[in-house]
Amino acid sequence: MRIFVSTCLLGENCKYNGGNNYSEKTVAFIKGHEVVALCPEVAGGLPVPRASAEIVDGIVKTKSGQSVDEEFRTGAEKVLAEVLKQKVELAVLQSRSPSCGVKEIYDGSFSGKKIKGQGIFAKMLMDEGIKVIDVEDIEKCTMNAIPLTI
């Protein structure tokens, strides 16, 4: 099985704050599989580090109100094209990210409040019928029984 993984989960310092979200559980889960790993935000031309961003009324913006929506969507489209080209069957994504959030995202108030919803890239994957897993739910999955969305 070919699996997409958000590169921050593999230890690449591509998060907005210059860090990563390394996940031992993810590394164990993907062992023995072909992996495609990219960061949609970096693919869209955003620097590391960068201002944090949230989805505000459907537009990705920084706390100062600057729109970074074009960069987020461009990066998501580029990475989606690679995912489709590589025939990825499953994606493991970072929780609550405005790109990769699977079940919930921050509400756009920059207060830490979460709401149900998906990040830009996660939604594109789901619209293409690609199974997505929130990294926080990876322990609930086995390769034989992966729900469409967790």
CA 120/CA 101 separation, integer angstroms: 8
CA 48/CA 34 separation, integer angstroms: 26
Residue 89 near residue 131 (C-beta atoms within 8 A): yes
SS3 label, residue 2:
strand
Burial 94-124 (b: 16+ CB within 10 A, else e): bbbbbbbbbbebbbbeeeeeeeebbbbbbbb
Query: Quick one: pLDDT at residue 149?
Result: 44
Query: Quick one: pLDDT at residue 147?
Result: 46
Query: Quick one: pLDDT at residue 141?
Result: 77
Q: How far is CA 148 from CA 3, 17, 106, in A?
A: 14, 30, 22
Query: Quick one: pLDDT at residue 91?
Result: 98
Identify residue 95 by its one-letter amino acid code.
S
Residues of the chain with pLDDT under 70: 142-150
Query: Quick one: pLDDT at residue 122?
Result: 98
